[in-house]
């Protein structure tokens, strides 16, 4: 079998998820090649896919990733065009995409979680939305949420329920106050907490206009299932 030593333009890497941005990509956003509503925030402490280990792990830093496309948000990079099997912003693609060489990924893996771009880097320092982001982080810290998912204590379930409700409440209040598209919401506040319950053994039930959490009555899905909702 011939060893691969160059890109074959197969599109596999683009179908495996949008890249995370780093500080070198700031100009791409400022110049409009990548918009805020095309980004998804993975908050510090939340579960995400670590390409170096191949596992879902708590993310040690905040990440901004290009959103997926297709049904339910999909997983294929938003800028990947199936018809041409290519990138629609190739000349202005993120640094991660420029570094990636699938046949020798060491250079890319060495950059994981380093020099990452954060929400605050893309928002004016005087913008009041920063206070709403800080309020959300205080009410729904990612590290605490991830820790509680692994705890079977009934008190933990109560705290998780509190955080899920707070997450939805803050999103709703901000949306009502300033008007938000779902895409901008995902940039400002990341993935809704109730969407991150997949595979945790905890499920949400909608009742009386709200959400209640309970231990899942069906078997927990295999490890890794639902990972397409992760980083």
Ordered by start, the domain boundaries in the chain are 12-120, 124-229
Tell me how many degrees the CA angle 143-144-145 measures, rounded to the nearest 5: 90
d(CA 155, CA 135): 23
What pLDDT does 224 receive? 37
SS3 content of the chain, % helix, strand, coil (to 5): 40, 15, 40
Q: pTM score, two decimals?
A: 0.87
What pLDDT does 228 receive? 42
Under the banding of pLDDT at 50, 70 and 90, the label for residue 71 is low
Percentage, residues of the chain above pLDDT 90: 60
Under the banding of pLDDT at 50, 70 and 90, the label for residue 122 is very high
d(CA 195, CA 209): 17
Mean pLDDT of the chain, nearest integer: 88
d(CA 97, CA 46): 23
What pLDDT does 87 receive? 94
What pLDDT does 102 receive? 78
- Residue 74, SS3? coil
């Amino acid at each position: 079998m011939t060893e691969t030593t160059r890109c074959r333009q197969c599109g596999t890497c683009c179908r495996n998820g949008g890249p995370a941005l780093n500080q070198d990509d700031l100009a791409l956003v400022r110049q409009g090649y990548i918009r805020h509503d095309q980004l998804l925030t993975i908050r510090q402490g939340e579960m995400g896919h670590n390409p170096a280990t191949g596992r879902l792990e708590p993310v040690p830093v905040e990440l901004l990733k290009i959103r997926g496309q297709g049904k339910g948000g999909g997983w294929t990079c938003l800028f990947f065009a199936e018809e041409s099997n290519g990138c629609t912003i190739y000349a202005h693609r993120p640094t991660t995409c420029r570094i990636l060489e699938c046949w020798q990924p060491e250079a890319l893996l060495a950059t994981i979680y380093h020099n990452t771009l954060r929400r605050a880097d893309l928002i004016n320092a005087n913008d009041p939305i920063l206070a709403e982001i800080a309020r959300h982080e205080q009410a729904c810290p990612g590290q605490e949420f991830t820790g509680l998912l692994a705890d079977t204590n009934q008190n933990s379930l109560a705290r998780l329920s509190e955080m899920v409700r707070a997450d939805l409440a803050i999103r709703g209040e901000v949306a009502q106050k300033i008007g938000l598209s779902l895409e901008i919401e995902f940039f400002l506040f990341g993935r809704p907490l109730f969407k991150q319950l997949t595979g945790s053994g905890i499920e949400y039930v909608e009742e009386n206009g709200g959400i209640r959490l309970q231990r899942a009555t069906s078997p927990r899905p295999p490890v890794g299932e639902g990972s397409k909702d992760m980083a």
